[in-house]
Amino acid sequence: MQNENAQVQMRKGVLELCILRILSHGEAYTSDLSDRLKQAELLVVEGTLYPLLTRMKNAGWLVYRWAESKNGPPRKYYALTKEGLQQLELLDREWESFVEAVQSLNRPTMAENFDSGQPIGPKDGSPTGPKDGNSMGPKDGNPMGPKDGNPMGPKDGNQTGSIAGDKYELKPGQP
């Protein structure tokens, strides 16, 4: 159910662009638009098309004309205006930018995650990664350790510190 909702929201977000793209090939009757969107598996609910077309017409992106039909009542054919074509160009640029941004995240496949044996998530083990955006943490490379960047302490093996105000010193070989 949650997946269906995500799909519905994504489709709704691109319907204007899709309608403008269809109409960039020439005028179309409402059922033609509906059929094209269904073929591309992009039409959410047919009832959403009519209010969207009205909104796009009111924005100045579309015009329509009535034409007699051999099979019943007159039909309304929609076409792009100059403003509609400009909007299409703008939405196309925005769409390309959006797709590039999403693609730049380039997540590994499920198999790559599990085959590697590595946990999925930031390399520093935190749920969201380091606060400074640096995957290695602070400048010394160790968010919790000594300033020299060695998580095991200084190179000579000595460690000093304090617990509850009491100073202590550990030498190599001491427990």
| 92 found inside a domain | yes
Residue 62 lies in a domain: yes
Q: What pLDDT digit, counting tens, does each position of 116-153 carry?
A: 666 665 555 555 555 555 444 444 444 444 445 444 44
Instruction: Tell me if 54 is assigned to some domain.
Output: yes
Pair 22, 36: CB distance under 8 Å = yes
The answer to whether residue 160 sits within a structural domain is: no
Closest CA to 62 of 39, 101, 29, 37: 29
CA atoms within 13 A on the CB side of 65: 8
166 domain residue, yes or no? no
The per-residue pLDDT for range 36-75, each reduced to its tens digit, is 999 998 876 778 899 999 999 999 999 999 999 998 999 9
Residue 96 lies in a domain: yes
- Specify the CATH number for the domain of residue 9: 1.10.10.10
Q: How many domains does the chain have?
A: 1
Q: Which domain holds residue 34?
A: 2-104
Amino acid letter, residue 86: Q
